[in-house]
């Protein structure tokens, strides 16, 4: 792996002196330079850029001494912080900064470019919902593609579906896969399924090259639309997705928070309405360690057999799941249906864009 | 009002020097002394107690310089922070520390004992759900009691129900009412309804003195069970609530987060199962500025006409609401029903305690 490890540091606010603490104060703004410049021109980002240097732990945003703080122009004026017990890994891949730390109350935490991707304590909500919302909405899914999702959590969930015969995953950043296998065995376990084929590369290119009508379901487990995942929120990408799906096939993409990014969501919905001639729905779930404490999903189907996302036709039997080695922690058929019920402010905004 | 105002400070991490920043670092642990001692004996709180002094802004927890950070033994190891534009009010009532600040992206924020009670940006979710979940579940509510809720937001929501003839509110802390009227006119507007009678005093005593079978609905809008609201989570209080309700009357209480406080919730559910002989249900909603990004509600009914909380019989017509001066922002009948769908881990825990 192309990485450089820092010495493990025991980071506790009680142990650090005030001087050390002051040195530790970095606002995490090392976004890709081009994007940052755009933001500044648009007046989006007004934070002072303090890029990490060699003595500064790479990729950590320790604004509170001994804590990790998630500060980003994507959610200005607020930050969620987790207390750090120990930094387990830091590296810089060709695409992003990668960090793993042991938190004091959320288990191990995976951070990409300063943004929390998952914690052991609440990853179940995201992984189970982004996977089973689409897969439980169609009968007998057989071929599934995962774009992103290099931690393996979505694969782990896809594996629960016995009808599935082939699972392709295209992750751009090999370091994410390697780090997950080393530090998150209960998540990377998804890679052990013999139905899985890992393709390391660009998801956009992979989809363009995919034969038309190949997949029953595509799951886009991306990071936010700043950085390497930017293209995954744009129209040409959705067009490739639609092409690679069979008629009546389904896609589920990470689609931000209705509290924070309604304008991004409205754009995604408008794009999807144009491209997907079947169903187009928005759903959401609670994830405490994501900004605003929730995350949304865009669920669409191509022209063909009708897909009613709100009423799962392919339920995972909860009793079966309970008896398995890894019972479902979060997903069930009731919360599947509930996930599509939106607060009035979101319903109005998404509804109006959809027409 | 029994208060002392601090000079307004322009609090920006860019403007404060490192030295000033260091002085500003206070872990907010000034819980009532008795409770804090108990916590320490139980090994719950291991943070260092640094009580505010006269030079330190009272009640502020500025762990990130220029930001408000919510640190509490109720949610160890994590903190949500909001950037502070200006502190508008600080006071110490007979019961708690009261603070109002202008945040940079969440509007004005009300803080009690270091814990965010509401922000202008997301208060709609909590106020609308805690009010309409119970009131839309029974036909023609006439007499309503609010315990706590001194900001007036619940009153504002109760006012939407034209069947209601009498609204009593019992708030222990007059300072909360006065501060809300001064800084949150769009929330305190609830007090202007002529059906409202404000009783300043102890909710527990008020309920004990209430004639049996008085209310159709009781809404308990309390802070967390550390500090003045502690008794509102205990069995004798629920017994008083049941007594004060008419047969088939309903109560809705703030009931913490399934991600953080499942043990508290299990106890509340077990108590309620014993006391309320009608329906006992748990619901939740998203609130970005509450710990873990969500909050739960306990909904119970007394013996008498059956109440099916999951299917509102008394819907608020959304078109009516849209045409009114203050349309509903969050609540609708779909999200009412969805609020009762729980993630599997919570369903199992709450289900097992309920039997």
Helix (H) / strand (E) containing B317: none
- Chain A residues lying within 8 Å of B351, measured CB to CB: none
- Looking at per-residue pLDDT, the higher value among B172 and B50 belongs to B172
Query: Between A and B, how many CB-CB pairs are < 8 A?
Result: 152
Residue from the list A18, A78, A342 with its beta carbon closest to the beta carbon of B83 = A78
Q: Is the pLDDT of residue A36 over 60?
A: no
> What DSSP assignment string belongs to B247-309?
EEEEEEEE---TTT-HHHHHHHHHHHHHH-SS-EEEEEEE-TTSGGGEEEEEEEE-SSS---T
Region of poorest pLDDT, from A106-110, A342-346, B222-226: B222-226
pLDDT band at A242 (very low <50, low <70, confident <90, very high): very high
B180 within 8 A of B151, measured Cβ to Cβ: yes
Q: Which residue of B has its CA nearest to A338?
A: B338
- A81, B67: Cβ pair inside 8 Å? no
Non-local (6+) Cβ contacts of B41 within 8 A are none
The per-residue pLDDT of chain B, averaged, comes to 82
Among candidates B14, B259, B334 on the partner chain, residue whose Cβ is nearest the Cβ of A341? B334
Closest-CA residue of B relative to A334 is B341
Output A159 or B50, whichever has higher pLDDT: A159
Q: Which residue has the higher pLDDT, A22 or A140?
A: A140
Q: How far is B47 from chain A (nearest CA, A)?
A: 9
Which residue of chain A has the CA closest to B80? A80
SS3 B89: strand
Is there a contact between B329 and A344 if contact means CB atoms under 8 Å apart? yes
Predicted confidence band of residue B44 (pLDDT cuts 50, 70, 90): very low
Number of other residues whose CB lies within 10 A of the CB of residue B46: 10
| Cα(B269)–Cα(B96) distance, integer angstroms | 28
- Could B294 and A287 be called an inter-chain contact, meaning their C-beta atoms sit closer than 8 Å? no
Instruction: For strands A97-103 and B215-221, give the pairing.
Output: unpaired
- The average pLDDT across B102-119 equals 96
Taking residues A137-150, report their average pLDDT. Answer: 98
Residue B222 CA neighbour count, 13 Å, CB half:
27
> How many domains, chain B?
2
pLDDT in tens, B153-194: 999 999 999 999 999 999 999 999 999 999 999 999 999 999
Q: What is the mean pLDDT of residues A275-284?
A: 97
Residue A21 has pLDDT above 70, yes or no: no
Whether residue A78 is found in the same domain as residue A138: no
State the pLDDT confidence band at A11, using cuts at 50, 70 and 90. very low
**Boundary-marking domain end, from A90, A119, A148:** A119
The minimal CB distance from B122 to the residues A122, A259, A286 is found for A259
Active site residues of B: 221
Question: Quick check: is A30 catalytic?
Answer: no
- Cross-strand pairs, A283: A297
**B1 within domain boundaries:** no
- State pTM to two decimals: 0.84
A206 and A64 in a single domain? The answer is: no
- Residue A287 with chain B: CB contacts under 8 Å: 293
Whether residue B128 sits in one domain with residue B114: no
Contacts of A67 in chain B (CB under 8 A): 79
With a CB-CB cutoff of 8 Å, which residues 4-23 of chain B face chain A?
A: 13-14, 18, 21-22
For residues A129 and A98, state if they share a domain. Answer: no
Name the band, by pLDDT with cuts 50, 70 and 90, for residue A54.
very low
The confidence score (pLDDT) of residue B223 equals: 79
CATH code of the domain covering residue A20: 2.30.140.10
Rg (CA), chain B: 20
pLDDT the model gives residue B229: 73
Contact state of A76 with B337 under an 8 Å Cβ cutoff = no
> Residues B65, B71: contact at Cβ < 8 Å?
no
- Strand, helix or coil for residue B148: strand
Range from A35-39, A126-130, B139-143, B248-252 carrying the lowest mean pLDDT: A35-39
Residue A72 pLDDT exceeds 90: no
Region B259-285: what's the mean pLDDT?
Answer: 95
The answer to whether residues A63 and A207 belong to one domain is no
Contact A80 B83 (CB under 8 A): no
* DSSP-assigned beta bridge partners for residue B102: B86, B108
Say whether pLDDT at B13 is over 90. no
pLDDT > 80? residue B49: no
Query: Is residue B3 domain-resident?
Result: no
Question: B304-330: per-residue pLDDT in tens?
Answer: 999 999 999 999 966 555 556 789 999
Residue where one domain finishes, among candidates A119, A147, A177: A119
Partner A, chain B 89-148, Cβ-Cβ below 8 Å: 103-106, 122, 124-125
pLDDT band of residue B71 (cuts 50, 70, 90) is confident
In a domain, B65, yes or no: yes
B18, B293, B341 ranked by CB distance to A293: nearest: B293
DSSP-derived 3-state class of residue B330: coil
Whether the per-residue pLDDT at A141 is higher than 60: the answer is yes
What confidence score (pLDDT) does residue B321 get? 58
Integer angstrom CA distances of residue A187 from A156, A157, A252, A297, A311: 7, 9, 20, 20, 28
Evaluate whether residue B168 is within a structural domain.
yes
pLDDT mean across residues, chain A: 82
| Same domain flag for A208 and A332 | yes
C-alpha–C-alpha distance, residues B200 and B202, integer Å: 7
Least confidently predicted of A11-15, A250-254, B40-44, B68-72: A11-15
Say yes or no: A338 and A239 in one domain. Answer: yes
Test the A interface: residue of B127, B316, B341 with most A CBs within 10 Å:
B341
Task: Select from A15, A86, A293 the residue whose CB has the most chain B CBs within 10 Å, as the one to mutate to test that interface.
Answer: A293
Q: Tell me whether residue A68 is in a domain.
A: yes
- Asked if the model's pLDDT at residue A5 lies above 80, the reply is no
> A252 phi and psi, to 5 degrees?
-130, 120
Q: Which residues pair with A299 in a beta bridge?
A: A252, A281
A148 shares a domain with A63: no
Residues of chain A with Cβ-Cβ distance to B338 below 8 Å are 337-339, 341
Does residue A42 sit in the same domain as residue A144?
A: no
Per-residue model confidence as pLDDT tens digits over B342-355: 999 999 999 755 43
Same domain, A165 and A288: yes
Looking at residue B73, its pLDDT comes to 87
Neighbours of A2 (CB within 10 A): 9
CA distances from A159 to A218, B105, B153 (A): 14, 41, 47
Probe site for chain A from B81, B104, B291, B339 (most A CB atoms < 10 A): B81
Residue A1 lies in a domain: no
B106 contacts on A by Cβ (under 8 Å):
77-78
Whether B172 and B297 share a structural domain: yes
Same domain, B134 and B113: no
Q: Is residue A2 part of a domain?
A: no
Please report, rounded to a whole number, the percentage of residues in chain A having pLDDT higher than 70.
78
Per DSSP, the three-state class of B237 is helix
CB atoms within 10 A of CB A54: 7
Q: Domain residues for B28? A: 8-119
* B344 vs A47, higher pLDDT: B344
Please give the pLDDT value at position B231: 81
> Using CA atoms in the order B269, B274, B275, B277, what is the torsion angle rounded to 10 degrees?
100
Cβ atoms < 10 Å from Cβ of B318: 17
> Which of 278-297 (B) contact A at CB < 8 A?
284, 286-288, 290, 292-294
Kindly report the CATH number assigned to the domain that includes residue A228.
Answer: 3.40.50.150
Instruction: Assess if residue B2 is contained within a domain.
Output: no
**Pair of tokens at residue B15:** 């403007």
Strands A143-148 and A166-171: parallel
Q: Could you report the per-residue pLDDT of B280-293, keeping only the tens digit for each?
A: 999 999 999 999 99
3-state secondary structure chain A: CCCCCCCCCCCCCCCCCHHHHHHCCCCCCCCCHHHHHHHHHCCCCCCCCCCCCCCCCCCCCCCCCCEEEECCCCCCCEEEEEEEEEEEEEEECCCCEEEEEEECCCCEEEEECCEEEEECCCHHHHHHHHHHHHHCCCCCCCEEEEEECCCCHHHHHHCCCCCCCEEEEEECCHHHHHHHHHHCHHHHHHHHCCCEEEEECCHHHHHHHCCCCCEEEEEEECCCCCCCCHHHHCHHHHHHHHHHEEEEEEEEEECCCCCCCHHHHHHHHHHHHHHCCCCEEEEEEECCCCHHHEEEEEEEECCCCCCCCCCCCCCCCHHHHHHCCCCCCCCCHHHHHHCCCCCHHHHHHHHHHHC
Q: What is the mean pLDDT of residues B255-259?
A: 95
Q: Is B351 helix (H, G, I), strand (E, B) or coil?
A: helix
Residue B140 has pLDDT above 80, yes or no: yes
Find the closest chain A residue to B27 by CA distance.
A13
How many CB atoms sit inside 10 A of residue A147's CB? 28
pLDDT of residue A329 exceeding 50, the answer is: yes
How confident is the model at residue B322, as a pLDDT?
56
Q: Characterize the bridge pairing of strands A215-221 and A245-254.
A: parallel
Range A324-345 average pLDDT: 94
Selected residue with higher pLDDT from A337 and A39: A337
Q: What are A118's strand-pairing partners?
A: A110
Which of B119, B138, B173 is at the close of a domain?
A: B119
What pLDDT does residue A183 have?
A: 98
Chain A residues whose beta carbon lies within 8 Å of the beta carbon of residue B327: 344
């Amino acid at each position: 792996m192309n990485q450089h490890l820092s010495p493990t540091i025991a980071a506790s606010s009680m142990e650090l002196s005030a001087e050390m603490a002051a040195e530790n104060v970095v606002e995490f703004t090392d976004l890709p330079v081009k994007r940052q410049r755009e933001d500044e021109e648009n007046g989006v980002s007004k934070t002072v850029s303090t890029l990490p240097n060699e003595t500064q732990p790479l990729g950590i945003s320790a604004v509170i001494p001994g804590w990790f703080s998630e500060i980003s122009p994507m959610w200005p004026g607020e930050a969620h912080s987790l207390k750090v017990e120990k930094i387990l890994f830091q590296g810089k891949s060709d695409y992003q900064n990668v960090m793993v730390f042991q938190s004091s109350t959320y288990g191990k935490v995976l951070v990409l470019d300063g943004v929390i991707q998952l914690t052991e304590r609440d990853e179940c909500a995201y992984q189970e919902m982004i996977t089973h919302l689409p897969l439980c909405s169609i009968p007998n899914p057989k071929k599934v593609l995962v774009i992103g999702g290099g931690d393996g959590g979505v694969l782990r969930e896809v594996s629960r579906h016995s009808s599935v015969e082939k699972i392709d995953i295209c992750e751009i950043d090999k370091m994410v896969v390697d780090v997950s296998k080393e530090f998150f065995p209960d998540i990377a376990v998804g890679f052990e399924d013999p139905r899985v084929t890992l393709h390391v590369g660009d998801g956009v290119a992979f989809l363009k090259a995919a034969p038309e009508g190949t997949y029953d379901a595509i799951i886009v487990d991306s990071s936010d639309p700043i950085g390497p995942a930017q293209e995954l929120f744009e129209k040409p990408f959705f067009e490739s997705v639609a092409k690679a799906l069979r008629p009546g096939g389904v896609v589920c993409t990470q689609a931000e928070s209705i509290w924070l990014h309604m304008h991004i969501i409205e754009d995604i919905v408008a794009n999807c309405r144009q491209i997907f001639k079947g169903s187009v729905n928005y759903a959401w779930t609670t994830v405490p360690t994501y900004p605003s404490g929730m995350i949304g999903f865009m669920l669409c189907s191509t022209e063909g057999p009708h897909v009613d996302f709100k009423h799962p036709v392919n339920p995972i039997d909860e009793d079966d799941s309970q008896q398995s080695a890894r019972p479902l922690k979060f997903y069930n058929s009731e919360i599947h249906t509930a996930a599509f019920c939106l607060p009035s402010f979101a319903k109005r905004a998404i509804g109006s864009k959809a027409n």
